[in-house]
């Protein structure tokens, strides 16, 4: 079986400083992998490189997505093929309603997958979006607000998960989705992620986080420790408890 994501000896630099120093990782369909590590270890860099952020330069290695060379694709081409990134700090865009933004994203995906399809009608899209929001227990008024404008940290993360539920990506990178959330908001966000995963069971997830607490609500199949640009140790879901007890210095 071809892996969903296969990262081989990935080396990346920014401003001539090497940040990733030979990352190797395989993620299969349906798996949830958590990457943990201290600040500056390269976790968010890996997320950005997967999505194609232009400020990072790949100097060696490759990323294969369903057997295809991901590094040859532009960011929007990766997104159209089903690669999704939930941002640590989602941008606020005043003047663009959330439902309008989601409609354009959905239509772009539709056009890529079915070029001859005339595209979903607005009223059908709004009905579908309403059903998804009800399932995620998100208020109707949420979609009428400007994209992330004036949103709390928890609301911004809800927006990211709503996009994931609508677009049904094959592979999702959740870059510190727990950042800035209190315990109650974290529980809600993780519950929504689990709901999306149940509806899209073959989706693979790469969860980037500093803290073990999110793993109480979003259970990974594998946990990896990243330090100084490399994955230095991996284990099953119980491995996270070892990290919490011993800290990163142990490795």
Of 54, 43, 52, nearest to 20 (Cα)? 43
Instruction: Record the tokens describing residue 223, joined without a space.
Output: 């946990």
pLDDT of residue 234: 94
Look at residues 134, 129, 110 and name the one whose alpha carbon lies nearest to residue 120: 110
pLDDT tens-place string over residues 93-106: 999 999 999 999 99
**Percent of all residues in the chain with a pLDDT value above 90, rounded to a whole number:** 79
Mean pLDDT of the chain: 93
Q: Extract the runs of DSSP E, i.e. beta strands, from 79-236.
A: 83-86, 93-97, 146-147, 171-175, 204-209, 222-227, 230-235
Domain count, the chain: 1
Q: How far apart are CA 37 and CA 146, in angstroms?
A: 34
- Check whether 161 has a pLDDT greater than 80: yes
Predicted local distance difference test score (pLDDT) of residue 250: 64
pLDDT tens-digit readout, 104-137: 999 999 999 999 888 899 999 999 999 999 999 9
What token pair was written down for 251?
A: 């490795």
Domain limits at 39? 5-250
pLDDT of res. 118:
84
Name the residue among 31, 33, 23 with its Cα closest to residue 1.
31
Question: What integer pLDDT is reported at residue 248 of this predicted model?
Answer: 67
Written as six digits, the tokens of 227 are 């330090």
> Model confidence at 192, in pLDDT bands (50, 70, 90)?
very high
137-153 residue pLDDT tens: 998 889 999 999 999 98
Which pair of structure tokens corresponds to residue 174?
């959740």
Distance of CA 116 to the CA centre of its chain: 29
Rounded distance, CA 168 to CA 186, Å? 21
**CATH number of 16's domain:** 3.40.50.300
Query: Does residue 226 surpass a pLDDT of 80?
Result: yes
Sheet architecture: strand order including 57-65:
17-27, 5-14, 57-65, 68-69
Q: What is the pLDDT of residue 179?
A: 86
The string of pLDDT tens digits covering residues 29-52 is: 999 999 998 888 999 999 999 999
Confidence of residue 175 (pLDDT cuts 50, 70, 90): very high
Write the pLDDT tens digit of every residue in 4-33: 999 999 999 999 999 999 999 999 999 999
User: 230-235 and 83-86 as β-strands: parallel, antiparallel, unpaired?
Assistant: unpaired
From start to end of 91-215, where are the E strands?
Answer: 93-97, 146-147, 171-175, 204-209
The model carries a pTM of 0.93
Contacts of 225 (CB under 8 A, 6+ apart): 35, 36, 37, 231, 232, 233, 234, 243, 248, 251
Average pLDDT of the residues in 184-210: 94
C-alpha 163/C-alpha 129 separation (Å) is 10
């Amino acid at each position: 079986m071809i892996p969903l994501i296969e990262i081989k000896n990935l080396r990346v630099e920014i401003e001539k400083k090497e940040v990733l120093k030979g990352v190797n990782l395989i993620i299969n369909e349906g798996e949830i992998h958590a990457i943990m590590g201290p600040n500056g270890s390269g976790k968010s860099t890996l997320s950005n490189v997967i999505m194609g952020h232009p400020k990072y330069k790949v100097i060696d290695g490759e990323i294969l997505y369903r057997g295809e060379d991901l590094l040859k694709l532009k960011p929007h081409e990766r997104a159209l093929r089903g690669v999704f990134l939930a941002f640590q700090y989602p941008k606020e865009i005043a003047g663009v309603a959330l439902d309008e933004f989601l409609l354009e994203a959905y239509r772009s995906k539709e056009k890529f997958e079915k070029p001859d399809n005339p595209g979903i009608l607005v009223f059908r899209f709004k009905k579908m979006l309403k059903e998804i929001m009800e399932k995620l227990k998100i208020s109707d008024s949420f979609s009428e607000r400007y994209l992330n404008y004036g949103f709390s940290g928890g609301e911004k993360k809800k927006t990211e998960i709503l996009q994931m539920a609508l677009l049904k990506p094959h592979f999702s990178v959740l870059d510190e989705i727990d950042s800035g959330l209190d315990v109650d908001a974290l529980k809600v966000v993780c519950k929504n992620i689990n709901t999306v995963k149940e509806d899209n069971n073959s989706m693979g997830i790469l969860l980037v986080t500093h803290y073990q607490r999110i793993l109480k609500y979003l259970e990974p199949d594998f946990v990896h420790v990243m330090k100084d640009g490399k994955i230095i140790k991996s284990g099953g879901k119980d491995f996270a408890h070892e990290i919490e007890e011993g800290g990163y210095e142990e490795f």
